Amino acid sequence: LFSQTVTPEKIIIIDNSFSKETEELIVKLNHPKVVYHSVGYNSGPAGAAAIGLKMLADEGYDWIYWGDDDDPPHFDDTFETLLKAAVSDPKCGCVGSVGQFLNRKTGFIKRVPDAMLDVEGILEVDTISGNQSKIISGAMVSNCKILPTEKLFFGFEELEFDLQINKAGYKLLIDKTFFRKHRILFNRVGVIKKKIEIKTNSKLQREYYSTRNILYVFYKYKLGIAFLSILFYSFLKQFLRFKQGFGAGYAGFKVTFLAVFHFFKGQFGFVKIKF
């Protein structure tokens, strides 16, 4: 982060772990701009982000970078480029390297077409993933009390946060040229069709959170058709997994049923699934 052409004035490390390893490393680093904060429990990515955003917004920072520990910016001028996009519109609440649209009827995230990125300019999107150098307006966070919802723990916490931004009348922006630069870097030019795959236990655990949380998001924002669409698709997808074997289909159904059951039960936060 300090190798960026525009460097942060302060970095807060929000630590969800129970060990002292991270704290000890930061003490050894002894950097005046790096601050350590222990949560004291596992609040998940959503809870950690909420804590960090609130702390920095309360301290009066204009723009706050929401970054995961394993997803650094891919270019040295990322912060500089994104901040230029941010100040281009007084109603900008968030900027990022890559964004997507949300189909509010089907409930699916829609890819920005390559053709829309062929010209320079700023594009308004519906959501910006958490691993795409998400930079947020500190004033918006303070004035509108917009923070990630901790009980989601993991999965679609960024989308729910972005819908809060939209609801408050703010925009999510990306720089078209910079977006395309990322697609070229990761060889993502051209539509890539996703296939139903046999998932490992860890990926099924992630799917549990995604299914449970997306139902919560659509229910909260009264997107009824999207809610029903995703509910139907979640179970349909498991039938297709039986083509890859009974075990794959059974595991998928187990995770999906549990996710739906916990949503209706109101059970959120951390859940460990036994396989």
From the number of C-beta atoms within 10 Å of its C-beta (0-12, 13-18, 19+), residue 35 rates as middle
pLDDT digits (tens, 9 = 90+) for 66-97: 998 888 999 999 999 999 999 999 999 999 99
Find out whether 179 and 97 touch, Cβ atoms under 8 Å.
yes
Give every CB contact of residue 131 below 8 A, 6+ residues apart in sequence. Answer: 68, 71
| Residue stretches of the chain with pLDDT short of 70 | 192-198
Q: Which amino acid is at 217?
A: V
Buried b (16+ CB within 10 A) or exposed e, 121-139: ebbebbbbbbbbbbbbbbe
> What per-residue confidence (pLDDT) applies to 70?
85
* CA-closest candidate to residue 130, choices 94, 102, 165: 94
> What per-residue confidence (pLDDT) applies to 227?
98
Two structure tokens written together for 172? 């999510």
DSSP conformation class of 211: H
> What per-residue confidence (pLDDT) applies to 197?
62
> What per-residue confidence (pLDDT) applies to 243?
87
> Residue 234: CA atoms inside 13 Å, Cβ hemisphere, count?
26
Two structure tokens written together for 10? 């302060």
> What per-residue confidence (pLDDT) applies to 275?
77
pTM, to two decimals: 0.94
Distances (CA, A) of 41 to 46, 130, 155: 13, 21, 18
